[in-house]
């Protein structure tokens, strides 16, 4: 049976060049089973106090007292690899992990000169983009509510992971895995004021999708395998955007 590892990070901000990881939570479980085999959350100590804004503290509840009682990122990764190896984990799961958690953590591990080949190479299932649920939003809290439950402690790393894995359990894993292997593409709807409602009904959003902003455009993220179907079903022109042209947003 397949073992997966759900992971979530909390940070002092969105820019990995200047912000730090404050907390990491992960859960290792077997697909199709409810009870996890390993679940762990750690605060990450950086050898000095961090600049934690009032806004960030209000969201996460994390203070420097928590951080000072944490472990180094190097020690965390060594323990993480030990658990991953012990259970034979085949896939990582994260919510917005492809756009945020993985690249952010990779940059911080690089700064600490920690080799992270397994973490970078393992296939990731992103529950923000890889679940074909058809709900009005792909925010974790929204999807959970649509499925009939609530995340009791949002922005707590371990609680977010547990919620994410419970969401994933509502879908056929093989179908999700297959969809996750199709490339994400960002699509622009070329529509005017008169046709914007049609774009909204087709799932396009104004400017921002997956925390990436394309100024003054109606945009949508889909799988590359679904592009031709979208072209056939849209009665307005669409075009593929370069993700690099977007701007990261909160």
- Residue 250 CA to residue 238 CA, distance in Å, equals 26
- Residue 232 CA to residue 78 CA, distance in Å, equals 49
Residues 25 and 90 in one domain: yes
Which residues, other chains included, contact 116 with Cβ-Cβ below 8 Å and sequence gap of 6+? 77, 105, 106, 109, 110
Q: Which domain holds residue 203?
A: 184-248
Residue pLDDT, tens place only, 14-71: 999 999 999 999 999 999 999 999 999 999 999 999 999 999 999 999 999 999 999 9
Which residues, other chains included, contact 93 with Cβ-Cβ below 8 Å and sequence gap of 6+? 4, 5, 6, 7, 124, 125, 126, 127, 164, 165, 168
Residues 130 and 212 in one domain: no
Residue 191 tokens read as 């529509």
Last residue of a domain, one of 156, 180, 204: 180
Pair 217, 188: CB distance under 8 Å: yes
C-alpha pair distances (Å), 152 with each of 149, 157, 175, 201, 223 = 9, 12, 28, 31, 31
Residues 206 and 135 in one domain: no
Residues 98 and 170 in one domain: yes
- Cβ count near 139 (within 10 Å): 14
Write down the pLDDT at residue 245.
Answer: 81
- Cβ count near 248 (within 10 Å): 12
Backbone dihedral region for residue 29 (phi beyond 0: left; psi -120 to 50: alpha; all else: beta): beta
Residue pLDDT, tens place only, 119-138: 999 999 999 999 999 888 89
Q: Which of 210, 14, 204 is nearest to 94 (CA)?
A: 210
Decide: pTM greater than 0.75: yes
Residue pLDDT, tens place only, 57-108: 999 999 999 999 999 999 999 999 999 999 999 999 999 999 999 999 999 9
Q: Which helix (H) or strand (E) holds 109?
A: helix 102-111
Residues 173 and 212 in one domain: no
Residues 208 and 167 in one domain: no
Residues 110 and 231 in one domain: no
CATH number at residue 100: 3.30.420.10
Residues 144 and 197 in one domain: no
Residues 170 and 188 in one domain: no
Sort 84 into a burial class: Cβ within 10 Å, 0-12 / 13-18 / 19+.
buried
- Local confidence band at 249 (pLDDT 50, 70, 90 cut-offs): low
Residues 20 and 32 in one domain: yes
Residues 59 and 164 in one domain: yes
Last residue of a domain, one of 129, 160, 180: 180
Q: How many domains does the chain have?
A: 2
Residues 188 and 91 in one domain: no
Write down the pLDDT at residue 234.
Answer: 87
């Amino acid at each position: 049976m397949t073992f997966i590892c759900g992971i979530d990070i909390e940070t002092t901000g969105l820019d990995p060049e200047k912000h730090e990881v404050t907390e990491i939570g992960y859960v290792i479980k077997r697909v199709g089973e409810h009870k996890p085999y390993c679940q762990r959350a750690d605060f990450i100590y950086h050898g000095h106090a961090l600049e934690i804004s009032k806004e960030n503290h209000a969201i996460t509840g994390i203070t420097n007292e928590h951080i000072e009682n944490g472990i180094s990122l190097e020690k965390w990764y060594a323990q993480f690899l030990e658990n991953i190896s012990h259970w034979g984990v085949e896939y990582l799961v994260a919510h917005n992990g492809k756009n945020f958690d993985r690249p952010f953590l990779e940059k911080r591990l690089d700064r600490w000169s920690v080799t992270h080949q397994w973490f970078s190479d393992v296939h990731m299932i992103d529950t923000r983009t890889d679940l074909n649920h058809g709900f009005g939003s792909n925010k974790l809290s929204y999807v959970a509510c649509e499925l009939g439950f609530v995340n009791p402690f949002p922005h707590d790393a371990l609680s977010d992971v547990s919620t994410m894995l419970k969401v994933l359990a509502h879908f056929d894993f093989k179908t999700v895995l297959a969809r996750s292997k199709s490339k994400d593409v960002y699509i622009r709807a070329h529509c005017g004021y008169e046709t914007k409602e049609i774009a909204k009904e087709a799932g396009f959003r104004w400017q921002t999708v997956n925390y990436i902003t394309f100024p003054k455009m109606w945009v949508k993220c889909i799988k590359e395998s679904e592009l031709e179907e979208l072209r056939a079903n849209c009665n307005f022109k669409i075009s593929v955007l370069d993700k690099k042209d977007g701007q990261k947003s909160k």
